[in-house]
C-alpha cells in the first residue's frame, strides 16, 4: 500500500521539479499577422490561423472573460484580432482561434493585473494610451501615458497593481507608466523596430521585434538595462503586427503519481 506521506512527497517533488523546468524553458506562442509560431528551446514551428492577431496574453487562474463559446479562463491564451477576441485552442498542436467576444476601443496589446484586463494602444491625439476593458471587452477606462507613440507590447510591473512597462516603436524604447500619472518614465532603449510584443515569464521579459534593418522577425529576452538577447529568428518580417504569450498546459491528473512520481519527472513535458 502506498502511504499518504509517500504520495505527498512524490507530488511535491514533481511540482517543484516541473515548476523549475517551466521557469527555465517556457514554451511561447507568437503571432505575426495570420501566422503563429511556437517556440521552445530553440525549436520553432509555424502555423496559419484565421485572423490577424494584434496581441496575446494569458488569462490568470480563477479569472474568466468573454461571453461567447465558453469564454477564456485559467491559463488560456487570449488573442485580440481587429475587433474579434479569441481563445487560442490546441496551443500545443495546430492552434485554432475560437471567438469569445468583440472588443470595444482601440487595437491594443493586452495584459492582466489580477482580474483586470489592460492594454497599450496608439490613439490620436495622445499617442500611447493605456486602456482597460471589462470582462466582456467593453472599454471602461483610458489614460494618456504622455508619450506620442504607437501601440507596442506591455507587461505589468511585478508586485504592483497599477504600474506597467510598455514598449513603443517610434521611440524604440521601453517606458514605465503608473495609472493616473500625466507622463511616463524612460526605462531603456530597444532594438530599432517597427512592431514589438512583450510577455513576462517569472521575472524575465520576452520580446518579439520586427526589424526593418535586417528584415527579420525575431524573439529574445529584453533586459530593462537595454540588453536584448536574441533567441531565434522566427521568420522574415512580412507583417510585423505581433502578439506573444506563454503556453500553460492543463495540469496532469494527480491520481497515480505516488510511485510513478519519480518516473514522471523524466517523462513529463513542460509546455509553459
pLDDT under 70: residue ranges of the chain: 1-24, 250-272
Rounded CA-CA distance 5/141 in Å is: 50
Question: What is the pLDDT, as a whole number, of residue 78?
Answer: 98
Q: What is the largest CA-CA distance in the chain?
A: 70
Model confidence, pTM = 0.84
Question: What is the pLDDT, as a whole number, of residue 24?
Answer: 61
Coil, helix or strand at residue 57: strand
Question: What is the pLDDT, as a whole number, of residue 272?
Answer: 37
Strand partners, 27: none
Question: What is the pLDDT, as a whole number, of residue 252?
Answer: 53
Q: Which domains does the chain have, with CATH numbers?
A: 27-246 (2.120.10)
Helices 4-24, 257-267: axis angle to 10 degrees equals 20
Question: What is the pLDDT, as a whole number, of residue 96?
Answer: 98
Amino acid at each position: 500500500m502506498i502511504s499518504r506521506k509517500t504520495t505527498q512527497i512524490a507530488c511535491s517533488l514533481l511540482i517543484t521539479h516541473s515548476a523549475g523546468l517551466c521557469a527555465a524553458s517556457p514554451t511561447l506562442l507568437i503571432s505575426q499577422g495570420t501566422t503563429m509560431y511556437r517556440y521552445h528551446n530553440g525549436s520553432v514551428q509555424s502555423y496559419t490561423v484565421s485572423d490577424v492577431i494584434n496581441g496575446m496574453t494569458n488569462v490568470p487562474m480563477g479569472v474568466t472573460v468573454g461571453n461567447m463559446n465558453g469564454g477564456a479562463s485559467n491559463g488560456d491564451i487570449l488573442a485580440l484580432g481587429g475587433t474579434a477576441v479569441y481563445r487560442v485552442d490546441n496551443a500545443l498542436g495546430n492552434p485554432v482561434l475560437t471567438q469569445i467576444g468583440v472588443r470595444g476601443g482601440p487595437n491594443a496589446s493586452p495584459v492582466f493585473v489580477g482580474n483586470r484586463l489592460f492594454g497599450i494602444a496608439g490613439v490620436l491625439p495622445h499617442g500611447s494610451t493605456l486602456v482597460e476593458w471589462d470582462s466582456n471587452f467593453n472599454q471602461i477606462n483610458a489614460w494618456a501615458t504622455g508619450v506620442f507613440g504607437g501601440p507596442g507590447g506591455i507587461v505589468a510591473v511585478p508586485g504592483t497593481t497599477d504600474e506597467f512597462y510598455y514598449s513603443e516603436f517610434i521611440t524604440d524604447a521601453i517606458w514605465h507608466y503608473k495609472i493616473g500619472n500625466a507622463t511616463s518614465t524612460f526605462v531603456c532603449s530597444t532594438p530599432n523596430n517597427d512592431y514589438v510584443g512583450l510577455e513576462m515569464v517569472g521575472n524575465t521579459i520576452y520580446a518579439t521585434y520586427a526589424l526593418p534593418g535586417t528584415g527579420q522577425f525575431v524573439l529574445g529576452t529584453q533586459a530593462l538595462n537595454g540588453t536584448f538577447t536574441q533567441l531565434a529568428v522566427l521568420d522574415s518580417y512580412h507583417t510585423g503586427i505581433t502578439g506573444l504569450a506563454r503556453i500553460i498546459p492543463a495540469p496532469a491528473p494527480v491520481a497515480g503519481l505516488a510511485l510513478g512520481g519519480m518516473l514522471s519527472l523524466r517523462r513529463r513535458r513542460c509546455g509553459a
